[in-house]
Structure 1
Amino acid sequence: MASLRRNKTDKNDSFKLALLGATQLSEIKNHCNKQSTSPYDSLRILSLRYRQLIKCRTRIINFLRSGLEITFPELNQIFKNAYAVLALQMFRMYCHPDFLVGLTLKEMTNRVYQAVNKRIHKDVIQNYCAQVWLTAKNSYPAVPADSLEVEIISEYCDEIENYNKEIAYIQNKLIKTAASLDNFKFISSIPGAGQLNSALLLGFAGDISRFDNYKQLNVFLGLDLNRYQSGKY
């Protein structure tokens, strides 16, 4: 299937099998024995690692959101990105509405502002704190504030934070590895492409100059329509 689009028919199968012994046997042997030292190999490994980390982080985020549905469900609506710095800190400090009893909005804002090491503008923090502070008055959690679920939510936040650090490290390594490739410079110069997306594209597709046209690249990436016969005809 190396030179075919994903159009698997009995006719194409028969034709390629006939050519296999006549013209492609030596090519296959050479390909199997070839040891590549291309920078694309490292890029592919990093891209796979990046995808794995994203999946792992998403799994923990789903667990976290399930826990919040029990302790303080409104937080899931307020914070769309559960892996953001401010969201994680808010979950740690106020994942139960009872933690806000007797606390003024100003006091809450100052506490969160100090906790995030002033990396986020205070106006942004105050806006989110106001939303949490107001919704806490009418929230009805399914568990008390001393529930073990609160401790588990804090552990989820720590796990997500660790994934954030590792993902950021892999992102930087991906971009640095891809920066040495001419194709990366061309692709990342396209408006909207971005350096990370360009590096991931080259990591999964390899050297795109080996494709004769965009249709072959689409097929390789699985973006082309498939035709697959059972072999009964």
Structure 2
Amino acid sequence: MSTSETQAGIPERPSPATAAPGPVTADDLARAVRLSVALLRTAPAAAWDGGPAGTLEWDCWETAEHLADDLFAYAAQLGPAAPPLDREVPFDWHRRRPGGPANAVHADRAAGPAGLLAVLESCGALLVAMVRTTPPHVRAHHVFGVSDAEGFAAMGIVETLVHTHDLAAGLGLGWEPPAELCARVLARLFPDAPEGAAPWPALLWATGRAELPGHPRRTRWRWDGTVRA
């Protein structure tokens, strides 16, 4: 862990992913959320007003809410004593405007960006706790494949890294997450990712946000959350 992360509370420089990726852990997820929130806290409050998050149709506030909602929803899927294998836990998801994200989690706009990021941090902590405490044999439904706690941790990391990329573009911030985090979630969720590409550009390619040499930008994509043998 770098001095910049521990002392300044801002994202560390990415390090090369030289070793074979290991399993995705709750600590990986906690790190991703921590780095994301630390970066987003550096944006001036006025930057959150109305502009789109990168190439998304949502504004930055909506995108951060969507990210928080993703992390909450993944935690909720692992929550029941017998998690559902064929459906989502039935929270009431709704849109605040036509074309906006359908969320169960909405932040109080009166609390401002600081409140929004507290909601994001809280939802991330819920998923971290569920990943830490869910036995490895437990499975739960996701539309991209029934998965285990490690799979949901990887999904949460992907959501965090790529939506922070969207938010950074909209807020005028720089963002490049640690290569080893990207490498682990690529190995877990995107077995079709091109070999030899740097992990972060490969993750952006895998999620339809960038092109790679010889690999055009994807117009449709999905991950494979099923449990690896």
Could you state the TM-score of these two structures normalised by the residue count of structure 1? Answer: 0.23
Flag the structure with larger Rg.
Answer: 1
Query: Greater relative contact order: 1 or 2 (C-alpha under 8 angstroms, separation 6 or more)?
Result: 1
